[in-house]
Structure 1
Amino acid sequence: MRSWNCASTWSAPNEPATVTRTSSTRPTAPVHPPGQIERLPIEFKSYVQPVLVLSIIPFGFIGAIAGHVLMQLPLTLFSIYGLIALSGIVVNDSIVLIDFINMRLRDGLPIQDAILDAGRRRFRPVILTSITTIAGVLPILLETQRQALVLIPMATSLAFGLMFATAIVLILAPTLVSMTNHFSREASGV
């Protein structure tokens, strides 16, 4: 943690100036994402499904790094900001898909029918989220002016990572849900 030293000077009329020093210790890293991760088990009423949601994030990172290699760009601080944004979008897409599968399972559908229905009904929201985000960063990605050079790695992380991760979300998330459902039924003897 970094210690912040603050000093203030004040004085009353006809008196010498008084300097007051205070120090404050504040965390310099964001504390919000761990709080969000802690809420996932509450939403899913399971400890396994949040792991499924978060397991898709590394695939987005693979796509982002492949994009940096393809564009011949170094990983910079702004690339990491892009990776953080990318992980949020990928988690959102996974939650949309897995939550709908769970809703269909609660309605009494068999696992395969629930997965197919979720794939049909949630394909458009997942794809449109990704396409609009990629379209939003595309002007930055294609910019050639010198001022935009700082932002191009961030746009590369987002665009390429999202292209790869969206395909993985649509394929891997339902597969993982099916596998965990199969293993939990096998473990319970049903």
Structure 2
Amino acid sequence: MKVNTDAGPVPIRNFVTITPKPKIGTLSRSDAKRVIAVKADVAPGAQAAEKIEALKTWIAQAGLDPHVGVEFKGEDEEQAKAEAFLSKAFSAALFIMAIILVTQFNSFYSAFLILSAVIMSTIGVFIGLLVTGQPFGIVMTGIGVIALAGIVVNNNIVLIDTFDRLAKNAKDMRGAILRTGAQRLRPVLLTSVTTVLGLMPMVLGMNIDFVNHAVTVGAPSTQWWRSLAAAIVFGLAFATVLTLIVTPAALMVRANFQDWRARRRGASGHGPTAEALDERTKPAEAAE
């Protein structure tokens, strides 16, 4: 092979050393850089995320040339993109819900109670994943958490709205809270129970064939949905307890704080007297 120069064609062997090497069929480049793709499939029963973390640890300890860079594509790249998208979507959803709740209730405390129930419901999500032995999937579990937020918000809105309505004409805040719990117990439980029962076949990995009248447990088609269903079922069960117990208790804390602040103002001559406040905190009469 000859190379054209100003002095004419010159054999390439005059300025290079030719060494036999294995033939390379294709040279791949990305962003003008040489790229070599190493592909592999995950073994049955193994988790891709765990294997990728093991590979990253090995690469960090391998002492590769500083000019060599390693990037993980495929499933790891898609999960990273999905994680970024779902994180932004969840944050945006919480922000929009906070604005709407503050506008409707005209109370930062009520909005805080509702959103805190959404955040604490994730504890139930992790418990559900541990019980069912499901890994934390960024896509399906993340979608389950976002769907769960809508249900939890609805239950707390119903409870707090009922309390605000009863508290307007109530002299006893404790009695108003108890009546709120009694009135909203059935709707909240019905919403939670029907949702949980509807998703239980997915949690148990059941595939129901209505055409052939067959029920299959552990079918491959159900594996993709189990983490989503487990996130909603266990998260909703945990959030229901928060809605019926913690939320009324938090409302009572606010009522006690308001009474305490009013007592201080009354003692200083800038508010109602202690006798008037005692009427507010007395237990409800039997007629009520």
Give TM class, smaller chain: 0.7 to 0.9
Give TM-score, length-normalised by structure 1.
Answer: 0.80
Q: Deviations over 1:153-177 (max 9, x none)?
A: 0000001111111012100000001
- Call closer, same or farther: CA 1:59–1:35 in 2, change over 3 Å: closer
Higher helix share: 1
Q: Distance in 2 between matches of 1:176 and 1:78?
A: 32
Which of 242, 261, 276 is residue 168 of structure 1 equivalent to?
242
1:70 aligns with 2:131: yes
Write the distance in 2 (CA, Å) between the matches of 1:59 and 1:44.
21
* Alpha carbons of structure 1 residues 104 and 35: separation in structure 2 relative to 1, 3 Å: same
SS in 2 for 1:118: helix
Question: Residue 116 of structure 2: which of 55, 59, 82 is its match?
Answer: 55
Q: Number of paired residues?
A: 163
Aligned to 2:183: 121
- Larger RCO: Structure 1 or Structure 2 (Cα < 8 Å, ≥ 6 residues apart)? 1
Which residue in 1 is equivalent to 2:202?
140
Is 1:41 equivalent to 2:102 in the alignment? yes
> 1:37 and 1:95 mapped to 2: Cα distance?
12
The alignment partner of 1:160 has SS state of: helix
Q: Is the 8 A contact 2:140 2:225 kept in 1?
A: yes
Q: 2:174 matched to 1:112?
A: yes
Question: Percent identical across equivalent pairs?
Answer: 31
Equivalent position amino acid for 2:219 in 1: Q
Separation (CA, whole Å) in 2 of partners of 1:109 and 1:42: 26
Structure 1 residue 48: deviation in Å? Answer: 1.2
> Larger radius of gyration, structure 1 or 2?
2
Q: Which amino acid aligns with 2:181?
A: G
Q: Which amino acid aligns with 1:57?
A: V
